Amino acid sequence: MQSTTTVTAPANIAFVKHWGLASTDPVTPRTGSLSMNLSHCTTTTTVTWSDTVRQHTLQLTDPSGTHTLSPDISPRARASYHLIDTVKRRAQLPANVYATITSTNSFPTGAGIASSASGLSALTFGLHAALPPEFQSHIPASTLPELCALGGSLSALRSLADGFTQLTHSPQSGFTVESIAAPDHWALLDIITVVDATPKSHGSWEGHLAAHTSPLQADRLTATTHALTQLPDIITQRDWPRFASITLTQAVWLHAVMLTSQPSLSYLHAGTITVMNAITQLAHDGHPVTWTLDAGANLHIICPPTARSTVLRALAPLSCVTDTIINSPTRGAHTIE
């Protein structure tokens, strides 16, 4: 047998962020999270289930080149192979059927722009979509979030849904991912300022494990839970002032916890601070702009399209900015072939 499907999935930027884990087995967040899918930070993945190969293979292409990922190259790669084996087992595929996977990222991998979210979301969705119907029926689509979580990146679950998405978890119902607003609901831009395109020296997993050691984490969790009760309605109402305030506060909380954890973890570069100061000045001058950060050095500038030219003019003289990636809200994981 041979069955092939090509899918694409976006990265996302979290406005309300989960950081820290309630459990590592299974991976369970301390809080929910809420994000926007990014139109120009995507992973395109082709999955082939076939009985003509003798093992699973996973190949990744990004702006730095093409890499074959073996299970022992990293914990994230090992988790991806575990996900592949789990889908094979649950689908009840024959023992001699294996997956061949090729993925291409449109943006730098491992640089704090949520490449793990787009990559794992595309892998999960593609493994399921490529199954022949008689095997796909063994895995309800409603279980994709739980499968995706096996890959180790909870951010990836949000990339399964469209537009503005929210991830929740409860012991009773497990993971739930829902779109709280369609991509065309609110014309926001995320202008990513690339100050460092190289892979991070410390992965997010380390930070999640250390978060509980920060004296600020308990207060951050309280603030995050409160933000999650507010932000869906704020997005529905397109309330820019309240949205900008929560988005900025969440970013500051996140990095304050990182810096005060044991061991301390810092992703901020000199270029990050330079861009941060420039955008903060624009906000002080009355422009509708704010910023946020994930676990990386590259600042995400959030603004309506009317502020795009103002932001780009402010960035133009900054030598630390090597590239910009301009995103709007977009669909979640979906089949393209």
How long, in residues, is the chain? 337
Model pLDDT for residues 163-182, shown as the tens digit of each residue: 999 999 988 888 999 999 99
CA–CA dist 181, 185 (Å, integer): 6
Q: Give the amino acid at 192.
A: I
Model pLDDT for residues 112-143, shown as the tens digit of each residue: 666 889 999 999 999 999 999 999 999 999 99
0.75 exceeded by pTM = yes
For residue 27, what pLDDT is reported? 85
Model pLDDT for residues 12-47, shown as the tens digit of each residue: 999 999 999 988 888 889 999 999 999 999 999 999
Mean pLDDT score, 277-298: 96
Mean pLDDT score, 262-271: 93
CA–CA dist 94, 164 (Å, integer): 38
- What DSSP assignment string belongs to 192-209? EEES--SPPSS-HHHHHH
Whether 192 contacts 157, CB under 8 Å: no
Nearest CA-CA partner of 300 in 36, 20, 106 = 36
| DSSP code for 158 | H
Whether 177 contacts 18, CB under 8 Å: no
CA–CA dist 274, 290 (Å, integer): 14
Domains (range + CATH), the chain:
2-182 (3.30.230.10), 189-327 (3.30.70.890)
- What DSSP assignment string belongs to 183-248? TTSS--EEEEEES--SPPSS-HHHHHHHGGGSTTHHHHHHHHHHHHHHHHHHHHHT-HHHHHHHHH
